[in-house]
Amino acid sequence: MTAMQLKKDYAGRDFISLLDYSAADLQYFLEVADYLKAEHKAGRPTPYLQGKTMGLIFEKSSTRTRVSFEAGIYYLGGQGLFLSSHDLQIGRGEPIKDTARVLSRFLNGLMIRTFSHDIVLELAQYANIPVINGLTDLLHPCQVLADLQTIREHKGKLAGLKMAFIGDGNNMAHSLMNGGARMGMQVAVACPEGYRPDAAVVAAAEAAAAESGGSVQVLADPLAAAAGADVIYTDVWASMGQEAEKAEREKVFGGVYQVNDELMAAANPGAMVLHCLPAHRGEEITEAVFEAHPEIFDEAENRLYAQMAVMALLLA
């Protein structure tokens, strides 16, 4: 079988926000992800990164991000280098811009998983190699690309579907609004007062939805958000770095912002459930609902293929 000839349109670009790409671009990323998944399942090599090196900077610890990126680089024929902030000079005060310029001399690409979104922006500004946002407190685009791939696999399309996110207006809510809006989905986000998404992110997603025929709503009532939904999505109430707020957040979210049988009854029959993991059963989602929806693990697996597509297209 002849290997897929990848478009060169994306070579050298960064992957920081889904809104940096058009709907047609994201559609192509998903097609490449599907192709790489099929080839991997068939045991056929996909050496698009042969001879290439990718640095993986982690200021936030991870299971899925680290393993999926390292494995993905290997499956693409490249070499990944795990770079903990504890091991880099960046952890001892070296400016981001100097780190970016030095690593650009050694590597073909960089992925960073960090707290402040400004760090990713500065890294991308000064690096002359592609920079991939593996997660910031503002956005999580790689996760949502995998989410979109999973929804297409199970529902056969994206445009016109309703997706409801229940919980904190965090980086997941932000990127789901961006990705869903860009692809013509109806996105409803239910959050308590004081925990709503960033207003600028909402405005940008609304503008994208106006172009695509989708919609974006931010509500307080989770049952209203879930009504008629094809996809129900949730995330932990307290994200990494918010451990000190955990008890307070449990009071605010508990008993209301949970994916349970009552909420699923408001969704469309056959609605799928997604969770970026790790899940806190009994908090944002019940054990029964979680175990009834194995597509959550299809979603986790697709992190591998979605990110392989991003790396292949940006670094090839």
Q: Known catalytic residues?
A: 113, 140, 143, 235, 276, 303
Contact indicator for 73, 80 with CB cutoff of 8 Å: yes
Q: Angle between the 171-182 and 199-212 helix axes, to the nearest 10 degrees? A: 20
The widest CA-to-CA distance across the chain, in whole angstroms, is: 56
Q: Which residues pair with 285 in a beta bridge?
A: 259, 281
| Tokens describing residue 7 | 């478009």
Alpha carbon distance 227, 217 (integer Å): 12
Task: Say which amino acid occupies 47.
Answer: P
Alpha carbon distance 135, 120 (integer Å): 9
Q: Which residues pair with 131 in a beta bridge?
A: 110
Alpha carbon distance 149, 158 (integer Å): 9
Which H or E run contains 107?
A: none
- In angstroms, how far is the first alpha carbon of the chain from the final one? 20
Beta strands 272-275 and 109-113 are unpaired
Helix (H, G, I), strand (E, B) or coil at 262: helix
Alpha carbon distance 253, 58 (integer Å): 29
Q: Please enumerate in sequence order all residues whose Cβ is within 8 A of that of 169, keeping only pairs 6 or more positions apart, or say none.
A: 189, 191, 195, 196, 197, 198, 218
| Tokens describing residue 232 | 């129900």
